[in-house]
Structure 1
């Protein structure tokens, strides 16, 4: 009951959708497409403002919902990556109607390949693609994130995870079940990976589907 009340309280006092974002959310509901939602979206918007973001890179953009929040926060440029050409075209249309498409780069293909085409720096990086490849995405982007920049990863507490299993593993040292599955195993690998990186400070923010926030605290390597 307390958890339900907390969620209702956060939602009632949280960010509102723009008209176009409301269309995006309706599309997601209609087609069962996972999006970060307005509460996590407000975090992305805040990060864009706090970092005075010149460039944001997204591993997995779908039809542009998360990018719309970065752009609402004033990001100068957001690089969207999406392997589904139809979804990427939808993102272009949605952001064009939002009036922000001129600040977006639309990359069709695998995000792990696309990131190599950009030198950075990326003030914020969002990782929200194939969970089993989260850690790989982090490794490819980490040296392009400047000191004070942030890497955000979605689905830390909801989605393809069992929060009870995660709590038992990280808090109690219980082994993961044999049938844990690649997506959840990828989340576990990612959390362990970023927490062990001395160049970043990381924590889980239980907003939306759960965000892992990793801030770079050391200069990039030359």
Structure 2
């Protein structure tokens, strides 16, 4: 797998950041045992950092699985903070609830079963942060569904935007962004999404080299509507 930084840097990120509790350790063991994709500890800590630095009190996550990334965020929320988890698979959502209960964080979470995009499009409230971690092919649609749910000063956080095994690599992605023919469909999809972010004047986007790449799109302008 292509890497965004040296393995030792990843080790330092994990060493210096907040320690994983026994619930996160259980989640990590499950992901490794079952081959279930999670954001991993680097991105988990980055999500927690964004939550702390922004002073977020309300978070919406599109695509929650069994709650790994949402759990990192919930730990960084204030006691009266709230995160809404969305997941199509009812069994996974029930597992997420169980993990949150085990970590005494269930009072900071709402669990909504269904299609993440449908849930986002139906919301009329606003959030300080929105986390996109559903199907990469739907990232543009997810961003559009969530963009007006974020007020100026808030942000949309998007995982998996730089590297994915030997299918998507930073050099191949950069070449595609520079106008070359994409080597595969996944690279094309991610390049289209990053271009879409860059062209939206209401957001200022940064890419953090953690995990498989984390985009942080901060809302700097209100909706024109």
Fold shared, TM-score > 0.5 on shorter chain: yes
Give the match's secondary structure for 1:147. Answer: strand
| 2:28 equivalent in structure 1 | 25
TM-score (ref. length: structure 2): 0.90
The root-mean-square deviation of aligned C-alpha atoms, in Å, is 1.8
Q: Structure 1 residues 4 and 49, CA, compared in 2 at 3 Å: closer, same or farther? A: closer
The 3-state SS of whatever aligns with 1:78 is strand
Residues 152, 211 of structure 1: 8 Å contact kept: yes
Q: Which runs of 4+ in 1 moved over 3 A?
A: none
Taking a change above 3 Å as real, the CA distance of residues 52 and 4 of structure 1, as seen in their structure-2 partners, is: closer
Give the structure, 1 or 2, with the largest relative contact order (CA under 8 Å, sep 6 or more). 2
* Superposed displacement of residue 43, structure 1: 1.5
Q: Of residues 206, 209, 212 in structure 2, which corresponds to 1:209?
A: 212
Q: Which runs of 5+ in 2 are unaligned?
A: none
TM-aligned CA distance change 1:169 to 1:186, over 3 Å:
closer
**CA shift digits 1:164-215 (9 cap, x unpaired):** 3102223x432213xx12x433221210101110000002111111101100
User: CA offsets, 1:81-137, max 9 Å, x none?
Assistant: 111111111000000111111221111110010112321211101111111110111
The size of the alignment, in residue pairs, is: 218
What is the rounded CA distance, in whole Å, between the counterparts of 1:5 and 1:79 in structure 2?
A: 34
SS at match of 1:8: helix
- The structure with the largest strand share of the pair is 2
Gap regions ≥5 residues in structure 1: none
| 2:107 equivalent in structure 1 | 102
Instruction: Please name the residue that 1:173 is paired with.
Output: 179
Q: Is the 8 A contact 1:204 1:210 kept in 2?
A: yes
- TM-score, L = length of structure 1: 0.91
**Are 1:133 and 2:138 counterparts?**
yes
The equivalent position to 1:191 in structure 2, one of 189, 194, 205, is 194
